[in-house]
Structure 1
Amino acid sequence: MTIIAEIGTAHSGDLSKAFELIDASKEAGADCVKFQWVYADEILHPDTGFVDLPNGRTRLYDNFKALECNQEFYAQCMEYARKKNILFACSPFGLKSLKELAELKPDAIKIASPEVNHYPMLKDCSRFYAKIPLILSSGVSKLGDIEKAMELIDASENKRAEDMKMPALTLLHCLTFYPAPEDEYNVRCVKTLGQVLGIPTGISDHSMDPVLVPVLSVAMGGAMIEKHITLSRKDSGLDDPVALEPEMFKLMVHSVHQAEAVLRHSGENEIYRQLAYEYPMEKINSILGTGIKKLAPAESANYGRTNRSLHYMRSMKKGEKIGNGDVSVLRTEKILTPGISPEFKELITGAVLTKDVENGAGVKLEDFIEKKRKNCGTKSRPQLKF
């Protein structure tokens, strides 16, 4: 079992705090630390809305902008992690951060749940797949989304390099909501997704309890667990309020290793029996769920908003042609309208607008289709204007 301490952006751009978080992760028993390589322009539009944080109401774009660090920052974090004998992984959020991350040759590249449909980035990931393991998280995604992502990555164990410290591709079941309700986690998906897709699976856990979801993922044969770590839940980072402080993270690691030993010697039913001393069996069963991969109630309203779609990067007039930089693959998030799937980005490049569009609006195919007066003749299929 590989245990990942998700540091994310809890360092707030402070290198000494990043080192302190690496130390805390190592001391808590994590096998790997994971960072997030943030460039705000790769994630969301400046007008996406606001978020309430411990230090007040903040424009979400500005919050991400303040977390931007250069390549040297991550290089030093990776060097320090390896000095401490702990693996280093990182999540890119676009083509620029992916390229710069791959140049560092991390121990793994993690594709976060909202990027499962960032098709241009996934295609680029396939170029690094032979040498750098990939971890794919699957929150706010349907089974078809996961299968399409794997096709773009061209997942094949035959590409695995001998010196990889993790499997070539690992899929993490996830519930993208903060904090995630344990009762909706459907942990049996860890087993069923592994059986359906034929790759190692695990869980990315955003619930508050340090034991329940991680231990039940062990019972389901999980190969990897990822959970946020913070020095204090009172810190001002985006994920700090739902992260585990070091002592709680240490408890999770201990519980996971205990569960692994029980699974080896006595099987999954013994794990349930021992958990039942502390938790009602009804709760355990509700967390295990059905094992059918579907959107959890808590995240279903965000499908299409948290993950990626196409958005205009400037206001444009009818008759203008879409050029490079006019449209980006972004999360919709708070107040904007979702656009069409990123798979259509190449299709609409060069297309002519048949209506005025606003900066930040989600791209629609009807923005490029001319309305024609009805004739009594044969019907024709609408086509994009070029």
Structure 2
Amino acid sequence: MTSSRPLPPIVVAEVGTAHGGDLSRGLELIDAAADAGSDIAKVQVVFAEEILPPEAGLVPLPGGDTPLYEVFRKLERPVDFYAALADRAAARGIGFLASPFGEKSVCLLEEIGVEAWKVASPELNHEPLLERLARTGLPLILSTGVSRMEDIQRALDVIADSVSAAVPPIIILHCLTNYPAPEKEANLRAIPTLAAAFNHPAGLSDHSLHPVLIPALASALGAVMIEKHITLNKEAGGLDDPVALTPEAFTEMTAAVRRFALPEGGRGTAAHLAAVIDELAGEYGRERVEACLGDGVKRLAPSEEAHYRRTNRSIHAVGALKAGTLLTEENTAILRTEKVLRPGLEPRYRSEVYGSRLIRNVASGDGITREDLEPSDVAPEDHKK
């Protein structure tokens, strides 16, 4: 191991919605994040109508099949709730970060005043949201689970095309969108792949269960940021609690991330990584460690393939729409599909969808597909540009 002063990644404690809508619990989670050594506490500002249709039904989550729309409705909170969490983070000397999911949550966070935006993996193709966030000029942190290289490039192009001045600073987070994320699919060598391919710093949003192995390897690979869920109690009933770390485990993770961080300036990178692999292999086994590292080719992981185009955003009907209906921004919405409903056209096609008429009925909540429109109205979905 090199003796150079390490440059540890920024550690983000993903509180998410583990507060359950209770402010006291939320404040306790912010305190736990600070006590565990995180640099930033992060939450999700949820308004159900911005995320998925009411008709989405049950969604398989770590705690079992969940009526997610109804759960999100119960988690909706006013600006004062999030302002109190941000104030507690500031009082504890750590940063505050949040994921918005649409215009309403963006406006709420603007009222509080934030220093950066976190875009969750399913929103990487939510082009109106990306455009809105880019125009604020604030740094963007993009998670890239359930996404391909071309999806990431498309998102970066949308951001660049949305601003007339310099593109805001961007961090790209490698991510595996599965809960829990299988270690053998982690493919951590994709972190330097993403940094090199897109010329932006890269890090990791991790949903694996072990507190040390994946984060430590990511740190040794040069991740500039590592995000992981935190909970007060894995049995507390929160959406992500089963895959989150307790404060004690999060403290262990933070120590490992900083211990195995890439040396200052990246000097001796290969030797440093080899030394970290040897040390972790001695504790966890070389086969397990090498499986976590993967081949570095960014692709959909096997456990993500069934989620592609369903966890991501597409254009959905708001209410039952009859044949002949003129499609507008008011009677459609860009939402996650999940497992029950039919996926619609990707948001990139929205300008062609708006102003088109349906040639058949579309059930409430279902996606608007190419087959629902006159053949000449929308370009084929595999036409990427």
The equivalent of 1:327 in structure 2 is: 332
The equivalent of 2:189 in structure 1 is: 188
Whole-angstrom CA distance in 2 between matches of 1:324 and 1:318: 17
Whole-angstrom CA distance in 1 between matches of 2:63 and 2:177: 23
Match of 1:87 among 67, 88, 95: 95
Whole-angstrom CA distance in 2 between matches of 1:68 and 1:307: 21
The equivalent of 2:351 in structure 1 is: 346
Query: What SS does the aligned partner of 2:171 have?
Result: strand
Kindly state the Cα deviation for residue 55 of structure 1 after the two structures are TM-superposed: 8.3
Query: What SS does the aligned partner of 1:260 have?
Result: coil
Query: What SS does the aligned partner of 2:275 have?
Result: helix
- In 2, are the aligned partners of 1:54 and 1:236 still within 8 Å (CA)? no
Kindly state the Cα deviation for residue 95 of structure 1 after the two structures are TM-superposed: 1.8
Match of 2:144 among 138, 148, 160: 138
Structure 2 residue 300 is the aligned partner of structure 1 residue 292: no
Whole-angstrom CA distance in 1 between matches of 2:82 and 2:228: 20
- In 2, are the aligned partners of 1:53 and 1:236 still within 8 Å (CA)? no
RMSD of aligned alpha carbons: 2.0
Structure 2 residue 294 is the aligned partner of structure 1 residue 301: no
1:9-24 maps to which residues of 2 (within 5 A)?
9-24=17-32
- In 2, are the aligned partners of 1:112 and 1:137 still within 8 Å (CA)? yes
The equivalent of 1:383 in structure 2 is: 376
Whole-angstrom CA distance in 1 between matches of 2:63 and 2:74: 14
Q: Kindly report structure 1 stretches of 4+ aligned residues shifted beyond 2 Å.
A: 51-58, 102-105, 158-161, 261-266
Structure showing greater relative contact order (alpha-carbon pairs closer than 8 Å, 6 or more residues apart): 2
- In 2, are the aligned partners of 1:142 and 1:295 still within 8 Å (CA)? yes
Q: 1:16 to 1:339 in 2, by over 3 A?
A: same
Kindly state the Cα deviation for residue 110 of structure 1 after the two structures are TM-superposed: 0.3
Structure 2 residue 271 is the aligned partner of structure 1 residue 281: no
Normalised to the residue count of structure 2, the TM-score between the two structures is 0.90
1:132-281 maps to which residues of 2 (within 5 A)?
132-154=138-160, 159=166, 168-260=169-261, 267-281=272-286
Number of equivalences: 364
More divergent stretch after superposition (93-102 vs 271-280): 93-102
Query: What SS does the aligned partner of 2:55 have?
Result: coil
Whole-angstrom CA distance in 2 between matches of 1:204 and 1:83: 25
**1:25-77 deviations in whole A, cap 9, x for unaligned?**
00000000000000000000011111467988642210111111111211111
**1:135-176 deviations in whole A, cap 9, x for unaligned?**
0000000001101111111299x8488xxxxxx211000000
Kindly state the Cα deviation for residue 334 of structure 1 after the two structures are TM-superposed: 2.1
Kindly state the Cα deviation for residue 344 of structure 1 after the two structures are TM-superposed: 1.5
Alignment gaps of 5+ in structure 1:
162-167, 370-381
- Structure showing greater Rg: 1
